[in-house]
Amino acid sequence: PVTPGELICLGSSLAFTGLFYYLYRRKARVVARIQEAPKLQVDDNLPALVSAADGRCLPYVALEGIVLPAKAALTSHYHEGLHGVIQKLLLKEHRLIWNSLARSW
């Protein structure tokens, strides 16, 4: 004899298993697309390649090339001879709309 509590636990366990498997498969497809990304060199041909792409956007690419720091390269305190740079970030602010029902932006 199976109790209703056991059926609820079994059903919720199956639902969570299905949900997590779905999320896992979706992320696995994204990882596969990133690993199959074409490798491009940073050179004079790159702007022409981007402008020729659909929507002037390349979905997944790996850029290879030499990066020069704007001021000075960052040096690691823990590994001698290891240098790095910080990527310039672009912040795009979306237009805010007042929601009179929730009284918030």
Annotated domain spans of the chain: 4-84
Q: What percent of the chain has pLDDT over 90?
A: 29
Strands 74-75, 83-84: pairing kind: antiparallel
Average pLDDT over residues 22-35: 93
Distance CA(24)–CA(41), nearest Å, equals 32
User: b or e along 74-99 (b: 16 or more beta carbons within 10 Å of the residue's beta carbon)?
Assistant: eeeeeeeeeeeeeeeeeeeeeeeeee
Average pLDDT over residues 24-36: 92
Average pLDDT over residues 36-59: 86
What's the pLDDT score for residue 66? 80
pTM: 0.47
Across all residues in the chain, what is the average pLDDT? 86
What's the pLDDT score for residue 84? 86
